[in-house]
Amino acid sequence: MDVFEAVKSRRSSGNITQDPVPDELIEKVLEAATWAPSHHKTEPWHFYVITGEGRKALGNVYKNIAREKQVEKGETNEKKLEKAVEKAYRAPVVIAAVVEPNQKEKVLEQEEHAAVNAAIQNMLLAAHALGLRTFWRTGEAVTHPSMQQLLKLDEKAQVLGLIYLGMAADKELPPGKRKPVEEVTTWLRSETDFE
């Protein structure tokens, strides 16, 4: 698949089967991630591949977070708690992409985060090229202390996203739509363009 075609045709899709994904395909996706650019060549990423029964522990994290919210609101709803657990089973593979910032003096943490986000994009594109479906989740669950504890991360490491990965349940992805590049680009060809 041509890189421009991959970039334009990739979509986040939860239309994923529960069929196992061969380890070789997961490893290809992870290898693509490791070819992302990283300032100072720090390679600040680490990936946790959660599959099979491992998803039960992830489901418990989702459940604990949902329970905390219920306690704050003074409510109890077992159906909502069980629905939270189901989030861990939306795909047969869940990859936690973690940034482990390098502590060298010249390394900026922002650049370390950018490198891992670039690695995630590489994963999404590689998976698409292999005919797999993915979607990237961020938000409260990935930054919650329970997620840190689950993956045994130190205080400097941080989950930047959970990438759900699986075999496609459908053949076609819907067409995408973006603003024309002219609407989001400003050309600065001379000094006066800054005035």
How distant is the alpha carbon of residue 57 from its chain centre?
Answer: 18
Q: Which residues are annotated as a binding site?
A: 10-12, 39, 136-138
Q: Is 43 left (phi over 0), alpha (psi -120 to 50) or beta?
A: left
H/E stretch holding 90 reads none
CB atoms closer than 10 angstroms to residue 63: 20
Q: What is the DSSP letter of 88?
A: G
Q: What is the DSSP string of 34-80?
A: TTS--GGG---EEEEEEETTHHHHHHHHHHHHHHHHHHHHT---HHH
Best CA proximity match to 65, nearest among 136, 152, 139, 14: 139
Best CA proximity match to 50, nearest among 169, 137, 126, 111: 137
Q: Which residues are annotated as a binding site for FMN?
A: 10-12, 39, 136-138
